[in-house]
């Protein structure tokens, strides 16, 4: 079973695959099912209805070749991304917490397959980050690691586009007084970067084209992940390189945030570049390249055109105000 969201006459519709490359509207399953998130919330009943509909071989709404793709799930309650979750990054780290560290992305950053990401000069160095994403299937709060996979609906492709230029700007160095346990305080220097515009600018979260139900992905921790900028190979990796597994990640997240049906968890960036071992920053899409392509084994192909826009630097306008 595959789900997607497409745009028809300016309206975003949830659809499901009836046969390879052909989709029918979720609304055909009943008035109460219009969006991908609503379908996921209905659980097994929705899956059974979609399978029965597909067996009737009714006419599809649209074929994949003619689809205008919206984000695979346009309205998750949250998008949570796992930071530096790749064993290849260990050699670059002087310290790693022994639990998954995560950050949010804004839903307004979501972008559909084939839709361009718009970049401005003041974004500086910007690069793609190909990732496997988990779609939550049912509410998860304080769950056990053993039960974690029961809360998964399926998987999709995610591109955690990142502006290194804005990350360098949005940082603070401060001395915080920390209690010393003796009634006094010890000044502690901390370097703090806040995950705001450098991760969540509009278009910085391409996702899709489809969500593949977990029943069609026997081992999500053994999928090849590839990324190209035009014809240039940027990454060629495997989800087996993830430092923390899907059950570990869901367990940890559920201890701090209630996960809801349709929530997106991006598991971390695929690395292992080509034989030259060029760093991920090599793929600066604000300097060169016209199209990012990500493929994940069994999940399909996510394409994002690059559109660079010449515009005044808002930092100068802000400083002059």
Are residues 316 and 189 both part of a single domain? yes
Looking at 68, 93, 120, the residue that finishes a domain is 68
Q: Which domain holds residue 21?
A: 1-68
Are residues 272 and 147 both part of a single domain? yes
- Please, are residues 252 and 243 in contact by the beta-carbon 8 Å criterion? no
Q: For the chain, what percent of residues have pLDDT higher than 90? A: 72
Looking at 43, 68, 93, the residue that finishes a domain is 68
Are residues 148 and 297 both part of a single domain? yes
Mean pLDDT (whole number) for 152-174: 95
Are residues 98 and 161 both part of a single domain? yes
d(CA 160, CA 173) in angstroms, rounded, equals 26
Q: How confident is the model at residue 37 (pLDDT cuts 50, 70, 90)?
A: very high
**The tokens 């209805």 sit on which residue?**
49
Phi, psi torsion values for 70, nearest 5 degrees? -95, 170
Are residues 138 and 33 both part of a single domain? no
CA distances from 319 to 166, 313, 314, 316 (A): 16, 10, 8, 5
Q: Please measure the distance between the N-terminal and C-terminal CA atoms of the chain and give it in whole angstroms.
A: 53
Are residues 20 and 158 both part of a single domain? no
Are residues 104 and 247 both part of a single domain? yes
Query: What tens digit of pLDDT does each residue of 122-158 get?
Result: 999 999 999 999 999 999 999 999 999 999 999 999 9
Are residues 98 and 222 both part of a single domain? yes
Residue 319 is predicted with a pLDDT of: 77
Enter the tokens of residue 105: 């992305």
For the CA atoms of 107, 156, 208, 213, the dihedral, rounded to the nearest 10 degrees, stands at -110
- What Rg do the C-alpha atoms of the chain give, in angstroms? 21
d(CA 97, CA 99) in angstroms, rounded, equals 5
b/e sequence 58-87, b meaning 16+ C-beta within 10 Å: eebbbebeebebbbbbbebebbbbbbbbbe
Are residues 163 and 250 both part of a single domain? yes
Are residues 112 and 149 both part of a single domain? yes
Query: What tens digit of pLDDT does each residue of 269-286 get?
Result: 988 655 566 788 899 999
Query: What tens digit of pLDDT does each residue of 56-103 get?
Result: 766 666 888 888 999 999 999 999 999 999 888 777 788 889 999 999
Enter the tokens of residue 309: 């826009």
Are residues 246 and 127 both part of a single domain? yes
CATH code: domain of residue 258: 3.90.850.10
Is the pLDDT score of 49 beyond 70? yes
Whole-number mean pLDDT of the chain?
92
Enter the tokens of residue 132: 């496997």
Enter the tokens of residue 182: 């003796």
Are residues 113 and 170 both part of a single domain? yes
Looking at 50, 68, 86, the residue that finishes a domain is 68
d(CA 302, CA 113) in angstroms, rounded, equals 6
Phi, psi torsion values for 62, nearest 5 degrees? -160, 150
- Please, are residues 39 and 26 in contact by the beta-carbon 8 Å criterion? yes
Total domain count for the chain? 2
């Amino acid at each position: 079973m595959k789900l997607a969201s497409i745009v028809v006459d300016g309206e975003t519709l949830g659809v499901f695959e009836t046969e390879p490359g052909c989709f029918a509207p979720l609304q055909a399953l009943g008035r109460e099912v219009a969006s991908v998130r609503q379908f996921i919330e209905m659980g097994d009943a929705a899956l059974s209805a979609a399978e029965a509909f597909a067996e009737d071989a009714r006419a599809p709404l649209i074929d994949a070749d003619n689809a205008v793709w919206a984000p695979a799930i346009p309205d998750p309650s949250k998008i949570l991304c796992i930071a530096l979750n790749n064993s290849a990054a260990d050699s670059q780290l002087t310290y790693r917490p022994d639990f998954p560290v995560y950050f949010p992305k804004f839903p307004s950053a979501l972008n559909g397959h084939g839709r361009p990401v718009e970049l401005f000069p003041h974004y500086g160095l910007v690069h793609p980050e190909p990732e496997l994403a988990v779609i939550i299937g049912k509410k998860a709060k304080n769950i056990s690691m053993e039960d974690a996979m029961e809360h998964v609906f399926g998987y999709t492709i995610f591109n955690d586009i990142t502006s290194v230029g804005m990350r360098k700007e949005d940082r603070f160095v401060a001395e915080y007084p920390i209690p010393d346990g003796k009634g006094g305080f010890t000044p502690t220097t901390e370097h703090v970067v806040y995950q705001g515009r450098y991760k969540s600018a509009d278009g910085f979260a391409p996702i899709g084209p489809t969500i593949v139900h977990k029943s069609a992905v026997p081992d999500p921790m053994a999928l090849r992940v590839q990324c190209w900028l035009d014809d240039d190979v940027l990454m060629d990796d495997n989800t087996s390189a993830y430092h923390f597994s899907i059950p570990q990640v869901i367990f940890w997240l559920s201890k701090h945030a209630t996960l809801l049906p349709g929530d997106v968890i991006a598991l971390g960036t695929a690395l292992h570049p080509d034989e030259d071992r060029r760093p991920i920053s090599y793929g600066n899409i604000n300097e060169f390249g016209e199209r990012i392509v990500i493929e994940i084994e069994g999940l399909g192909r996510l394409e994002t055109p690059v559109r660079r826009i010449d515009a005044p630097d808002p930092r100068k306008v802000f400083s002059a105000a």
